[in-house]
Amino acid sequence: MPSEQDAEGTVTALYAAHALELVRLALVMVGERETAEDVVQDAFIGLYRRWDGLRERGKALTYLRSSVLNGCRSALRRRRFTPWTDRPPAVPSAEHEFLGREDHREVLRALRRLPHRQRETLVLRYVFDLSEEEIAETMGVTRGTVKSNAAKGRANLGRLFGEEDG
Amino acid sequence: MRIEHRLRDAAREEMVRVGQEDLRPLELPRHRSRPSWRRLVPAVAVPAAVALTLVFAHLPGREANPPPLSGGDGPPYFVTLPAGAATAGAAVHDAVTGRKTAEIPARGGYAQVAAAGDRRTFFLAEDEGPRCSVRVDRVRLAGDGTVAARSAVPGRFPFDVTAGRMAVSEDGERLAFGGGVSMRSVPQIDERDCGQPNGITVVETRSGARRVWKVPPNPEYEPVENASPWWGADGRTLYFLAAFADSAVEVMALDTRAGGSDLATAADVVFPARWGEMKATGLLHATPDGRTFTVVVCDRRERCGVEDVAAFTGRRVRRVAALPPADWTLVSPDATGRHMIALIAPGEDERIIAGRIDDGYFRRLKDYSGDAGAAAW
């Protein structure tokens, strides 16, 4: 059984290697940096606490991705139905605003309106370039479900913009 | 450009807002628990289940086992919406068992649901997109919980229907949409962005006529997300929660028949809704005489309960129910305020527990299943 230091060192190393990718994943999902960072911190703390029971430590990144997606789902639920929040809203930077990326904002807003499985599948597939197998493992579904969710997600997202899926 | 390419471009632009140098250091807890997975699962699951039972059932003066429901206890059906779904419809459930009795398909995906006082008429709002085009459907249920009639409220409405909450007057004649209401804010309204006005929108369900009350611009921004509008019994007074830049929270009343469109001057304070570390986070109900309000009260650690509060003095007079520590909880009252549907996500998985609170008793709806994010009855 590893020592406390082993777990701490390993999880810290994983954080150094993957935190940025995971915060970015959470940011795309929830659109708010502070929430994204909170979700990722919670995921690593969860991994640290459960380290001894983790059967396949080589799949720690998969566990972290799953945990981040769950955390984002919870954050989106809270945001929608928790009436008050002390957190500031996502405010675009001046540069971001200057570039006038209205289309990008619309795409992301539409993405966040998709059912969560479609939303997550699209982001993992087309933004993070994960394979169908990796996505299936992360989301705990079959490859067939990944294909189906990707197709439905593309179609729904396209429909929101009046485009044919092609 | 194909939609996946647009998604990739949009997401990557969003992602570059965070760089490696921006990340805060990992803060691991000092002590790490060491249960194995096999021991951890029951260790977590059992206390959670026990907690749900105890928190709801052991209210002061209540027996642990609630009496059986009778036919007249609350509305017969409730309607749920899936969490964050743009393409899914609504589901109708039996309010005693939780069993699904019907589905209400959507064109885009319903984002809001509210029930009129007749317990059979529901209003469902969805954004047909692509740009701020909200439609509202009126659905009437038959006695067996299936859909008897469905019609559209005239018109399309330009705001972000996913924010805040929709309320319908008891007679079903008027809808209110409340996003964030901050009395000292700069509403970052951008019609192209579908920005929810910082204020209240009222829609007449027969004509589709719309009226908006906004908060005038002010340099201090206080973000809020849900004004929790609730119609008074007279069908013209709208109660809602408002936040102030100094962290005050107040329940306010708006006379929706009076003139003016400046919410800051048109609405009156009913009572302050902050008590030290506790504050109201949702307005659930107002009695017909406007003297007692039912609100969700939470502390800074998000320990929450449903409480009755006296108007004018703001005195907390009664705890209706403590809400269990959960990942997410939604409480939705019926028109009388005596019966509430509770949707609870106890943990990280997607499982939702549905139950109802009647006069302080919690009953789990055992035949309920679904990933609901909203409910009304």
Q: Which domains does chain A have, with CATH numbers?
A: 1-89 (1.10.1740), 92-166 (1.10.10.10)
Identify the sign of the CA torsion B184, B333, B366, B325.
Answer: positive
Walk along chain A (166 residues) and give the pLDDT tens digit of each residue.
Answer: 445 568 888 999 999 999 999 999 999 998 888 889 989 998 898 888 777 767 677 788 988 998 898 888 777 765 544 333 333 333 333 333 433 456 787 888 788 778 778 889 999 999 999 999 999 888 878 888 889 889 988 888 887 776 544 4
Number of structural domains chain B divides into: 1
- Nearest-by-Cβ selection for A53 from B35, B131, B282: B35
Angle at B153 between CA B257 and CA B214, to 5 degrees: 40
Cα(B317)–Cα(B333) distance, rounded to whole angstroms?
A: 18
Q: Look at residue B23 and tell me if it is in a domain.
A: no
Q: Look at residue B4 and tell me if it is in a domain.
A: no
Higher per-residue pLDDT: B38 or B301: B301
- Tell if the CB–CB gap between B7 and A157 is shorter than 8 Å: yes
Q: Radius of gyration over alpha carbons of chain A, in Å?
A: 17
- Tell if the CB–CB gap between A41 and B188 is shorter than 8 Å: no
Q: Look at residue B30 and tell me if it is in a domain.
A: no
* Alpha carbon distances (Å) from A53 to A23, A49, A60, A122, B186: 25, 9, 12, 31, 49
- Tell if the CB–CB gap between A74 and B327 is shorter than 8 Å: yes
Residues in B closer than 8 angstroms to A127, CB to CB, are 7-8, 11-12, 15
Residues of A (93-152) whose Cβ lies below 8 Å from B: 93, 96, 101-116, 118-119, 122-123, 125-127, 152
DSSP letter (8 states) at residue B291 = S
Q: Look at residue B315 and tell me if it is in a domain.
A: yes
Task: Mark residue A44 as left, alpha or beta (left: phi above 0; alpha: psi -120 to 50; beta: remaining).
Answer: alpha
Q: Look at residue B77 and tell me if it is in a domain.
A: yes
Helix axes A143-160, B3-15, angle to 10 degrees: 90
Tokens 């640290």, residue located: A48
Question: Which tokens hold the place of B159?
Answer: 């705001």
Question: Which tokens hold the place of B203?
Answer: 């829609």
| pLDDT at site B304 | 84
A-B CB pairs within 8 A amount to 212
Nearest Cα residue to A33 out of B205, B243, B14: B14
Chain segment B67-111, per-residue pLDDT in tens: 777 656 889 999 998 765 555 789 999 999 999 999 999 887 788
Contact (CB, 8 A) for B294 and B285: yes
Please give the full DSSP string across B17-76, using - where no structure is assigned: T--GGGPPPP---SS-----HHHHHHHHHHHHHHHHHHHHH--TT--SSPPPP-TTSS-S
Residues written for chain B: 377
B246 touches chain A (CB under 8 A): no
Residues written for chain A: 166
Note down the domain range covering B99.
Answer: 36-376
Chain segment B119-150, per-residue pLDDT in tens: 999 999 987 766 677 899 999 999 999 999 99
B35 touches chain A (CB under 8 A): yes
Name the least confident of B43-47, B213-217, B319-323: B43-47
Q: In what order do the strands lie in the sheet with B165-168?
A: B165-168, B174-178, B199-204, B210-214
DSSP letter (8 states) at residue B262 = B
- Tell if the CB–CB gap between A82 and B87 is shorter than 8 Å: no
| pLDDT at site A4 | 59
A63 touches chain B (CB under 8 A): no
Chain segment B200-229, per-residue pLDDT in tens: 889 999 999 999 887 765 544 344 446 789
Q: Look at residue B19 and tell me if it is in a domain.
A: no
Minimal C-alpha gap between B216 and chain A (Å)? 19
- Nearest-by-Cβ selection for A108 from B11, B224, B327: B11
Cα(B182)–Cα(B264) distance, rounded to whole angstroms?
A: 9
Task: Mark residue A90 as left, alpha or beta (left: phi above 0; alpha: psi -120 to 50; beta: remaining).
Answer: beta
Q: How far is CA B176 from the centre of its chain?
A: 13
Question: Which tokens hold the place of A137?
Answer: 């493992």
CA of A23: which chain B residue's CA is closest? B18
Minimal C-alpha gap between A85 and chain B (Å)? 6
- Nearest-by-Cβ selection for A41 from B26, B223, B224: B26
Angle at B267 between CA B262 and CA B268, to 5 degrees: 145
Q: Look at residue B299 and tell me if it is in a domain.
A: yes
| pLDDT at site B42 | 26
State the CB neighbour count (10 A cutoff) for residue A90.
16
Give the residue ranges of DSSP H helices in A3-142: 4-30, 33-49, 60-81, 94-99, 102-111, 116-122, 132-139
3-state secondary structure of B265: helix
| pLDDT at site B39 | 25
Question: Which tokens hold the place of B360?
Answer: 């302080």
Q: Look at residue B273 and tell me if it is in a domain.
A: yes
Residues in B closer than 8 angstroms to A8, CB to CB, are 28
- Tell if the CB–CB gap between B193 and A105 is shorter than 8 Å: yes
- Tell if the CB–CB gap between B83 and A76 is shorter than 8 Å: yes
Question: Which tokens hold the place of B280?
Answer: 């109201």
- Tell if the CB–CB gap between B17 and A27 is shorter than 8 Å: yes
B332 touches chain A (CB under 8 A): no
Cα(B325)–Cα(B366) distance, rounded to whole angstroms?
A: 20
Residues of A (70-89) whose Cβ lies below 8 Å from B: 70-71, 73-74, 76-85, 87-89
Residues in B closer than 8 angstroms to A97, CB to CB, are none
* Alpha carbon distances (Å) from A50 to A43, B83, B214, B354, B368: 11, 28, 49, 29, 31
How many C-alpha atoms does B216 have within 13 Å on its Cβ side? 7
- Nearest-by-Cβ selection for A156 from B6, B86, B131: B86
- At residue B50, does pLDDT exceed 60? no
Contact (CB, 8 A) for B295 and B283: yes
The CATH number covering residue B42 comes to 2.120.10.30
